[in-house]
Amino acid sequence: MSGVHAHTVAYVRDTMLDQKEPPSTSVGAIGWARQNLFSGWFNTILTIIVLGLVAFVLGNILPWIFSPTWNAASLSECREILAAAGSVSDHGTSGACWGVINERWVQLLFGFYPSHLYWRPILALVLLCVALAPILFASSVPAKLIYFSALYPFIFPWLLWGGTVWGPLAALAGVVIGYVVYSVLSERVNALLGLIVGVAAALIWWFVLSGYVVDGLSSILPIGLETVESRNFGGFMLSITIGVVAIACSLPLGIVLALGRQSDLMIVKYLCVGFIEFIRGVPLITLLFVASTLLNIFMPPGTNFDIILRVMIMATLFSSAYMAEVIRGGLAALPKGQYEGADSLGLDYWQAQRLVIMPQALKISIPGIVSTFIGMFKDTTLVSIIGLLDPLGLSNAIRADANWNGIVWELYGFIALLFFVICFAMSRYSMYLERRLRTDRR
């Protein structure tokens, strides 16, 4: 019997069983919850406590958010609507008064910009997205669109402020003149001399000659848009305008400052170090006060220096100092072999920086660069202290209205939501860019 049994029992399966689905408790939402939320007694207790807190918070916040007050015309009418709906607690009516947002959301977006010209800031924002596309998503859009990106800085202020079309064309002509002078001298004499003379030629054109040319052309062909004064700017349009200009200008200026701080030329190095340390040691609000009040003292009598332009300059200088330190950290993180490799290829200083060093340093610095951008955009709310009507400044003006006196959370919550959307979008793009530029994928 034992011999027969030994010959009939196999140690290797000669038939396959049908494949079965995994247990429902180990896959999907249930499996994820068991693995991450209820994997042990301690995690289970924490999960229950947190879920209880979340339920308690949502139970108090959601009724406040979903209050039937969108069509109210005043705070007292909001209270009457809430009382009629039974939304009353021991502390009075409970529920948001969204009537203020329904009535003033356009003002919070555009300030006192003329209503019949809303199409201009909207068009400027749409064109901004088009101009940023070849910069942010270079591999997904036509390469020739970069030419529009180069022209957009001259279109943007003309759309917002209006005036003659010859103004932005004259500004563009200054760039062309400077580039032509630089190209000619760099080929025939020296690149550094060409850069200095090219910048000087552009400045002479902008500050001395262009005014006469623009006035002459305007008298012959008065083509332009209706002029809008800077005092009419406000709301998120003002914040986006200051933020976009400061962000766009601070990055190249920060790169120059970072390279200047590492320069072997003593004068250049100490000028950059002094500028960076001074700006980083002074609060932004102090620079804004200088821009709004003290700067006019040092200007020639009768000079009309636009307040928004002054704020843009100070915000750009402030952001560029922090940007320079972020980029300097990226440069310091590169191994010495990268510099030696660029030298071994026979590249000069600027070629090495453009082709080898700076692309790697900027990739390393992406989180810090985007954090500086986000901080700069949020700091635009400080302009309310010097009298500009950004969203916070407008909220104070709205609350001064007798109909909305006492409104706080609704206005600040709406403003915070819009800032969060923009800052969150920048943060997500930063993460996308880091993933796209990763070179250690397997």
- The verdict on 288 and 198 lying in the same domain is no
Q: How many structural domains compose the chain?
A: 2
**Are 134 and 116 contacting, i.e. CB atoms less than 8 angstroms apart?**
no
For position 11, what pLDDT does the model report?
A: 67
Q: Residue-wise over 72-93: b if at least 16 C-beta within 10 A, else e?
A: bebbeebbebbeeeebeeeeeb
**Is 322 a member of any domain?**
yes
- With 0-12 / 13-18 / 19 or more C-beta atoms within 10 angstroms meaning exposed / middle / buried, residue 188 is exposed
In order of 43, 53, 95, 215, the CA distances from 57 in angstroms are 21, 6, 14, 63
Closest listed residue to residue 437, CA positions, set 346, 330, 332? 330
Can you tell me the distance from the alpha carbon of 161 to that of 308, in angstroms, rounded to the nearest whole number? 11
For position 31, what pLDDT does the model report?
A: 81
Can you tell me the distance from the alpha carbon of 411 to that of 103, in angstroms, rounded to the nearest whole number? 11
**Are 72 and 97 contacting, i.e. CB atoms less than 8 angstroms apart?**
yes
Per-residue model confidence as pLDDT tens for the chain (442 residues): 445 555 556 667 777 777 777 776 677 778 888 888 888 888 899 999 999 999 999 988 888 888 888 888 898 998 888 888 775 544 445 788 999 999 999 999 999 999 999 999 999 999 999 999 888 887 788 888 899 999 999 999 999 999 999 999 999 999 999 999 888 888 887 777 888 888 899 999 988 888 889 989 888 888 889 999 988 999 999 999 999 999 999 999 999 999 999 888 889 899 999 999 999 999 999 888 888 877 777 666 666 778 898 899 999 999 999 999 999 998 888 888 888 888 888 888 778 888 888 888 888 888 899 999 999 999 999 998 888 888 998 998 899 888 898 888 999 999 999 999 999 999 999 888 888 877 665 4
- The verdict on 303 and 206 lying in the same domain is no
- The verdict on 261 and 377 lying in the same domain is yes
Task: Compute the residue count for the chain.
Answer: 442
Instruction: Render 175-221 in DSSP notation, one character per residue.
Output: HHHHHHHHHHHHHHT-HHHHHHHHHHHHHHIIIIIHHHHHHHHHHHS
Q: What's the CATH code of the domain at 359?
A: 1.10.3720.10
Cβ-based neighbours of 141, under 8 Å, separated by 6 or more:
133, 134
**Is 355 a member of any domain?**
yes
Can you tell me the distance from the alpha carbon of 189 to that of 202, in angstroms, rounded to the nearest whole number? 19
Can you tell me the distance from the alpha carbon of 74 to that of 207, in angstroms, rounded to the nearest whole number? 51
Among residues 225, 247, 264, the one where a domain terminates is: 225
Q: Domain span at residue 271?
A: 239-395+418-442
For position 128, what pLDDT does the model report?
A: 93
For position 386, what pLDDT does the model report?
A: 86
**DSSP label at 162?**
-
**Is 367 a member of any domain?**
yes
pTM for the full model? 0.84
**Is 32 a member of any domain?**
no
**Dihedral, 29, 32, 34, 36 alpha carbons, nearest 10:** -140
- The verdict on 333 and 381 lying in the same domain is yes
- The verdict on 282 and 328 lying in the same domain is yes
- The verdict on 335 and 257 lying in the same domain is yes
Give residue 269's identity as a one-letter amino acid code: K
- The verdict on 169 and 295 lying in the same domain is no
**Are 161 and 312 contacting, i.e. CB atoms less than 8 angstroms apart?**
no
**Is 195 a member of any domain?**
yes
For position 1, what pLDDT does the model report?
A: 47
**Is 375 a member of any domain?**
yes
Among residues 198, 225, 252, the one where a domain terminates is: 225
